[in-house]
Amino acid sequence: MASGFGPRIVWDSGWKVPGLEFLGTFQITETVTVTWLIMIGLIIFSILSTKRLEKVPKRLQLVLEILVGAINNLTAQTMGEDKKNFAPYMGTLLIFLAIANLSGLIGLRPPTADVNTTIGLALMTFTMIHVNGVRKKGIGKYLKGFTEPLIPLLPLNIIGELATPISLGFRLFGNIIGGLIIMNLIYGALAGLTTMIFGPSALLPIFQAGLPAVLHVYFDLFAGVLQSFIFTMLTMVYVAMAMD
């Protein structure tokens, strides 16, 4: 278990960033590959599904309209009617995260099981919180918000703001990597059980085939969808809070 549960390195260029050699070589990991696969899939799907839009929707368009309507509704309900224009970003985030978390079901490594993905997304949320806060309130009122309710609480407020992206990123990462590790351990244990009972030349991986399905439903389906929903909801709540 020396390599741990980190993402596999697909391609190592051997190239180092000049001046930043201590960071190591420039690598393409499984995370990046799966992220790009999801991105390509989403782009192709959105192009194909919006190619022939009709006044009276049929099948695919109807499903899409329900999805878009639900995301618009959710954003308007959570952030307030005046911040409805955040819906495209929140919808993209929700769909991307849901597909990324569910990609474990088809044998890919979920990109969200890498701390780089989740912290990256959390930093986007962090930027959105503060840029929109300054834009809405003005720089003076925004800075004054840090000294509320008392001026001595300034350091605490700053630490609290800095903790937001960390807790957002690690919540998603911890949930997904936790599920991934538990599933890996269970697969290992079941493979050991098969070998123990039927010998190393067992024809069928009889235990690994059926039993883990129940756990996949919990760790991948339930936790994955719930965590993507929670990440999006928290992003909406934080941005809306910074703007009012």
Partner 1 sequence: MEQITGRALILACSAIGAGLAMIAGIGPGIGQGYAAGKGAEGVGRQPEAQGDIIRTMLLGAAVAETTGIYGLIIALVLLFANPLIGLL
Residues in touch with partner 1 (CB under 8 A): 1, 4-6, 167, 170-171, 173-175, 177-178, 181, 226-227, 229-230, 233-234, 237
Quick check: 7 and 114 in contact, CB under 8 A? yes
Distance of closest approach, residue 165 Cβ to partner 1, in angstroms: 12
When the beta carbons of 146 and 170 are compared against partner 1, the nearer one is 170
Kindly tell me which of 142 and 170 has the beta carbon lying closer to partner 1.
170
Q: What is the CA radius of gyration of the chain?
A: 22
Query: Minimum distance from CB of 4 to partner 1 (Å)?
Result: 4
216 CB neighbour count, 10 Å cutoff: 16
Measured from the CB atom, is 145 or 178 closer to partner 1? 178
CB of 168 to partner 1, least distance (A): 9
Nearest-approach distance from CB 182 to partner 1, in angstroms: 11
Nearest alpha carbon to residue 76 among 92, 91, 65: 91
Instruction: Point out which residues pair with 12 in neighbouring strands.
Output: 27
- Cα–Cα distance measured from residue 206 to residue 194, given in angstroms and rounded to the nearest whole number: 7
Residue number, 5 or 36, with CB nearest to partner 1: 5
Omega within 30 of 0 (cis) for the link into 205: no
Of residues 36 and 222, the one with the C-beta less far from partner 1: 222
What region does 3 belong to: left with phi over 0, alpha with psi -120 to 50, or beta?
alpha
Spatial distance between the Cα atoms of 125 and 118, rounded to a whole number of angstroms: 11
Name the residue with tokens 């840090």. Answer: 146
Instruction: Report the nearest approach of partner 1 to the CB of residue 71 (Å).
Output: 14
